[in-house]
Amino acid sequence: MKTKWAIYDYDVWCNEDGFYVNNRFHRSDIELDLDPTIFNENTDQEFTSYIIPDEILCKIFDVDIEELITEGDDTYYEINEGCMPIGEMICISHESL
């Protein structure tokens, strides 16, 4: 499925309490052709979704796969490098994948 994503980088501050996202900056938009992933296969709760593989997220945000932590759903990803937030991706081509 062809999808389009807005990529944002974070301006992150750090203090004794941890990390704080001070601001975000729109870096660019990117088109990705995503393959379907089937969840709960062969059950009543089976569904198909289109997720961005970790390898692609690592390349976009220049993060080692061992440090990549993501949160979100099929149309929103918050990207962390270890415990530090570094950016996000928002699907702008679909309301749901």
Percent helix / strand / coil, the chain, rounded to 5: 10, 60, 30
- Tell me what pLDDT residue 95 has: 87
Element (H, E) at 75: none
Residue 92: which of 73, 76, 79, 80 has the closest Cα? 76
Instruction: State yes or no: pLDDT of 33 exceeds 90.
Output: yes
Selected residue with higher pLDDT from 30 and 95: 30
Name the average pLDDT for the chain.
Answer: 95
Rounded to an integer, the average pLDDT of 49-73 is 94
- Amino acid occupying residue 24: R
Residue 32: which of 64, 75, 3 has the closest Cα? 3
Instruction: State yes or no: pLDDT of 45 exceeds 90.
Output: yes
Tell me the domain boundaries of the chain.
Answer: 2-91
d(CA 70, CA 9): 14
Residues in a beta bridge with 81: 68, 84
